[in-house]
Amino acid sequence: MLIQQLVNGLTLGAVYTLLALSFSLVMGILGILNLAIAELFMIGGYLGFTLITAGFPLPVAVLGGMLGAAVIAIAIEKIGYQPLRDAPLVTPMLSTLGFSIILQNVATNIWGSDPAQLPDEYFGKQYSLGPVNIGEMQLIVLVATVVLVALVAYIVQKTPMGRALRAVAENREVARILGVSADRLTMLAFILSGSLAGVAGVLIALHYGTITPYLGVEIGLKAIAVMVIGGTRQIWGALVAGPLIGIAEVLTVAYGGSQVRDFVVYGFMILILLLRPQGLLGGARSDQGQRV
Amino acid sequence: MSRIKSNLPRVLGTVAAVTLSAMVGGQAWAQEIAIGAVVPSSGPFAEWGRSNTVTLKMLEQQTNDAGGINGAKLKITILDDAAKPAQAASSLRKLAGDEKVLAVAGPLTSSAAEVTFPVANEMKVVSTSQASSKPGVAKLNRPWAFRNTIDEGVLAKTTVPFYKKAFNIKTVAVIFDAKDATASTVGKVIMPAVLKANDIIVANENDLLSFNTGDLDVSAQVTKLKALNPDGVVVSADYSQAITVLREMKRQGLIKPVVGATQLISSAILKAAPEIPVIAPATFYATMTGPAPEKFTATLTPLLRKESGLPKDIEPSMYDANIYEIVSMYIDAIKKTGVTGKPADLEADRTKIRDHLAKLEGFAGLGGPIGFNDDGDAIKAFYVLQGQNGAWDTKVKGCSSAPGHPAC
């Protein structure tokens, strides 16, 4: 049972990792917490779900979820962030909270509050390795998480766009003097973050085979905890903290009960904030929100 | 004597004129009868609230097309509580205080009812829940709280023996939604007690498994259920949450018969894992036979599909039937007890409705006669259903009262 629980924990951790990475892309560069990311994850999931059940193959569903979430991310940046970027940090965060609630209501109106369920024929194959059960989608989620984290790390670390993003995150004034367009990069951060949330939404919705408009609420909060634990400025932090929290959560449920699960996850987050505010993989400097 | 006889037509004419004048000119009846409803049109139970809304609008139109109530138009004001207890309580306060409604249908959940019923008592207005089934919720809030539902403890006593016999159940494992008031009570208290009374061993008696409303991942719990290797599984949760458990059971290959409470009754749950039999009680379901339920379903279904904005295959639920019956009982009370609907009579009118419900027996509900017991819960027939391969099928008929009651 322990090995099965570890597999369960790794899958759950992969969900947290993808979403935490999505949060940290905006948080690390702009210093704001985009609370609508959890709903971009949900909308991406619904779009992928809709495409799959309409008969499209998985890559098209993933692309659809990614594009849909990216488009909404652009709208959030244009309407909810850009006009407020000179306001105190809490203002754009509240604006994204507003978007989050609106998106939940939009999803409820379009898809209903009943859980949407993937038809059996799309459920995917299940493989049994001795006592351990692992699904096809579960494998895809695990592999995709590693690939996506590596891809984002490559973009941020190795490409000119990534260097510009890091420059803005480090010091927007210097970056501006050096000819970096802060506006363009802000938009890029939102698009990257939204796309990632959309892809994560599709994969997770297909893995669990069910989705509701409230999918992002619980998972979004856990992903924020994972981002904090891993380090808000560390892309690899999410890859370490996600599985750590996923496994810790699953083992807590299995051996301690679901009532203490949240205590363990958020207790750990508080502990990290107190003892190592830069996160597990963060440097010596604690994060300071910076504005573009 | 002869003078009286000769003047009789004039006397009668005068009496008739005075009466007519009092009724028309003096407004013995209000022009409008105001009823309130509290349903969750947004939030996690929006599906039920939205179909409840269409049901109430249908009833309003049916009533007014048939001439209204004693000539007055029925107006149902519906407020959304988003299934949040505090919002439900403030909605009831607004309906009773600002809208001056004669009675309120709702709220839907036990969590909302627990907070709203005390406000109903304070405001002295009848509030009748269409779905709350946690034991004792109306009993704690007499005399104004009612529920057109049956206590889950009563239902389990008929459901479990059928489940045991049908699937030769000797052991079960229990999983419940710890954040849902009804699900928690059924999972932690009612089911273990009833299972024990029926000589069924609860494999995780000292370690009942739980999850929280909204959890997407229940893989850890299902892995643990599987390791217990029970003959069956108790899933105590609202159907929308139970779907997550059933999907995961299917994914992990745990194909065992499931038993639960009224919360499981939904057409949606039958799609989660069609090969897993689901046993649960209900007082109404869309494929129920009989003139009244068939007419109700035939009339409401196209309206739901056209107006609710819900999935195209939406069907009337037990809670649609319950709220339809609740407002129908209010209308019955208004007609039979001389409720005027006039502002000056508001307090007296509300009391008349309350007293009528408290004494009600044999009201023609969709699934059979309805009355209320001293605890404010409905006395009505119920059915133990088996859901499998996409359809519910009646297996056992029961009644929430001792045999011999008109509802049985």
Using one digit for the tens of pLDDT, what is the confidence trace for A185-223? 889 999 999 999 999 999 988 888 889 888 888 889 999
Q: Which residues is B73 bridged to in the sheet?
A: B32
Shared-domain flag, residues B327 and B247: no
ipTM value greater than 0.90: no
Residue A292's pLDDT is what? 33
Q: How far is A255 from chain B (nearest CA, A)?
A: 9
Shared-domain flag, residues B117 and B168: no
Closest CA in chain A for residue B40? A113
* Residue B26 lies inside a defined structural domain of this protein: no
Q: What secondary structure letter does DSSP report for B69?
A: B
Q: What whole-number percentage of chain A has pLDDT above 90?
A: 42
Shared-domain flag, residues B189 and B255: yes
Domain boundary (B253, B282, B311) is at B282
Shared-domain flag, residues B42 and B135: yes
Shared-domain flag, residues B157 and B236: yes
> Contact B379/B370 with Cβ under 8 angstroms?
yes
Considering only the beta carbons, identify the residue of B224, B240, B243 that sits closest to A254: B224
Residue A30's pLDDT is what? 77
Q: What whole-number percentage of chain B has pLDDT above 70?
A: 91
Give the Cα separation of B288 and B281 in Å (integer).
13
* Residue B270 lies inside a defined structural domain of this protein: yes
Give the Cα separation of B334 and B33 in Å (integer).
9
Shared-domain flag, residues B143 and B37: yes
Residue B22's pLDDT is what? 45
Q: Which residues of A touch B46 (CB under 8 A)?
A: 108, 112-113
Q: How far is B266 from chain A (nearest CA, A)?
A: 10
Contacts of B245 (CB under 8 A, 6+ apart): B175, B211, B218, B221, B222, B235, B237
Residue A289's pLDDT is what? 43
Closest CA in chain B for residue A262? B212
Give the Cα separation of A16 and A9 in Å (integer).
11
Closest CA in chain B for residue A131? B227
Q: CB–CB of A258 and B248 under 8 A?
A: no
Shared-domain flag, residues B56 and B175: no
Closest CA in chain B for residue A123? B251
Considering only the beta carbons, identify the residue of A105, A135, A218 that sits closest to B215: A218
Our count of domains for chain B comes to 2
Q: Does B47 touch chain A (CB under 8 A)?
A: yes
Strands ordered across the beta sheet of B369-372: B363-364, B369-372, B378-379
Give the Cα separation of B274 and B268 in Å (integer).
10
Q: Is B362 left (phi over 0), alpha (psi -120 to 50) or beta?
A: left
* Residue B392 lies inside a defined structural domain of this protein: no
Q: Which residues of B touch A218 (CB under 8 A)?
A: 212, 214-216
Domain boundary (B282, B305, B331) is at B282
| Amino acid code (one letter) for A206 | L
Q: How far is A175 from chain B (nearest CA, A)?
A: 42
* Residue B402 lies inside a defined structural domain of this protein: no
Q: CB–CB of A105 and B42 under 8 A?
A: yes
* Residue B343 lies inside a defined structural domain of this protein: yes
> Contact A201/A52 with Cβ under 8 angstroms?
no
User: A161 falls in which pLDDT band (50, 70, 90)?
Assistant: confident
Pinpoint the alpha helices (H) of chain A.
2-30, 37-53, 58-75, 90-111, 136-158, 160-170, 172-177, 182-208, 215-230, 235-256, 261-275
Q: Does B272 touch chain A (CB under 8 A)?
A: yes
Of A120-124, B67-71, B163-167, which range is least confident? Answer: A120-124
pLDDT per residue over B17-76, tens digit each? 445 444 444 446 678 999 999 999 887 788 889 999 999 999 999 999 999 998 899 999
Shared-domain flag, residues B259 and B189: yes
* Residue B205 lies inside a defined structural domain of this protein: yes
Cis amide bond preceding B257, omega within 30: no
Q: Which residues of B touch A114 (CB under 8 A)?
A: 47, 240, 266, 268, 310-311
> Contact B31/B72 with Cβ under 8 angstroms?
yes
The distance from CA B117 to its chain's CA centroid, rounded to whole angstroms, is 15
> Contact A261/A223 with Cβ under 8 angstroms?
no
**CATH code where residue B324 lies:** 3.40.50.2300
The distance from CA B107 to its chain's CA centroid, rounded to whole angstroms, is 9
Considering only the beta carbons, identify the residue of A12, A133, A249 that sits closest to B253: A133
Q: What secondary structure letter does DSSP report for B143?
A: T
* Residue B243 lies inside a defined structural domain of this protein: yes
Shared-domain flag, residues B87 and B159: no
List the domain range (segments joined by +) for residue B370: 32-150+287-376
Q: Which residues of A touch B175 (CB under 8 A)?
A: none
Residue B403's pLDDT is what? 64
Domain boundary (B258, B282, B306) is at B282
Shared-domain flag, residues B277 and B159: yes
Q: Which residues of B touch A139 (CB under 8 A)?
A: none
User: B16 falls in which pLDDT band (50, 70, 90)?
Assistant: low
SS3 call for B107: coil
Q: CB–CB of A113 and B274 under 8 A?
A: no
Q: Which residues of A touch B243 (CB under 8 A)?
A: 115, 117, 210
* Residue B335 lies inside a defined structural domain of this protein: yes
Shared-domain flag, residues B271 and B312: no
Shared-domain flag, residues B86 and B51: yes
